[in-house]
Amino acid sequence: MGELKILIWIILGIIYIISRVRKKTAADAVPKPTDDYREDKPVTFEELLKEIQAAKAPKETPKPVFDSPVNYDDNVKEEAESLEKTDYSYRNQDSIYETYEKAKQEAFHRPSMEETLKLENTIVRFGQFKGYEHQEVPSFALQYGKDLQNPANFKKAFILSEILSRRF
């Protein structure tokens, strides 16, 4: 059965290679169209004459059009202006300082935290984070060790010794 599968795959591979070679030779046999190749109609004498005359005539290069000359030195100032504002004052321009000064003045009229805090309003909950504490879980070996030390668990010790002892 395995030899039949291999034989089928080999035959399919050979057929594929032959089909690729045939397609390649068929594509090489078709002539590729060029610029001179016209499939629609033959060229007339008048068309040929126009093409020859167009090739002989020198091509006219467009002349650049110049406006009146511009003198850029006319509007130049003596010294270039600086783009940086040197007279800019943050205290005069921004409202941040006004807000800060206003809040600072109002702070003296408001009651402080110590004055507003009352012990009766404080919520006290003890043990609310006990669920997040890490609890030690004893290992299985430690549990079995304690069970084997107890004489009441003789049955469990006997079964465990039978499981762990090698017979062969």
Contacts of the segment 54-57: beta carbons below 8 A, 24+ positions apart: none
The span from the CA of 90 to the CA of 96, in Å, is: 9
Between CA 32 and CA 44, with CA 38 as vertex, the angle to 5 degrees is: 155
pLDDT at 80: 67
pLDDT at 12: 92
pLDDT at 17: 93
Question: Is residue 6's pLDDT more than 80?
Answer: yes
Q: Is the pTM of this model over 0.75?
A: no
Could you read off the pLDDT of 83-118 as tens digits, one per residue? 777 777 777 778 888 899 899 998 888 888 888 888
**Alpha carbon separation from 148 to 84, 115, 140 (Å, rounded):** 88, 65, 12
| Residues ≥6 apart with Cβ < 8 Å to 157 | 147, 148
Q: What is the mean pLDDT of the chain?
A: 80
